[in-house]
Structures are given as C-alpha cells and as structure tokens.
Amino acid sequence: MSSISGKRTVKKSRNFSTICLLALYLYRLSLAFQFMLINSTNDAILFQNIDN
C-alpha cells in the first residue's frame, strides 16, 4: 500500500518539475523576445535620428 502511494508522489513531483522547466523556458523565451523588440525599436529610433 505504501509503495503505491510512493510511486504516485514520485509521478506528481516529476510532472511538477517538468512544468517548472517549461515555465522557465517560456519565461526565458519571452525575455529574449522582449529584448529583441527593444533592440529593434532602438534601431528604428537611431535610424530616425540619422535621417534628421
């Protein structure tokens, strides 16, 4: 009986760690995306300044 519950908790913790990894990956992806957006807007502002 105890071994069955133990297996169940291991499965839960494994799922939890997978979700955490996915969340971290998505977070990093969004950070990289924001960084790219900021860089592109900065480049646009620089080009506008050069034109002026």
pLDDT tens for 23-44 read: 999 999 999 998 888 888 877 7
Cα maximum dimension of the chain: 77
**% the chain with pLDDT above 90:** 33
How many CA atoms lie less than 13 Å away from 10 in the CB half-sphere? Answer: 6
| Tokens at 41, concatenated | 């807007």
- Residue 52, helix vs strand vs coil: coil
pTM passes above 0.85: no
Q: Please, what is the Cα angle at 13 between 24 and 22, to 5 degrees?
A: 20
Backbone phi and psi for residue 20, each to the nearest 5 degrees, phi listed first: -60, -45
Query: Mapping DSSP to helix (H, G, I), strand (E, B) and coil, where does residue 37 land?
Result: helix
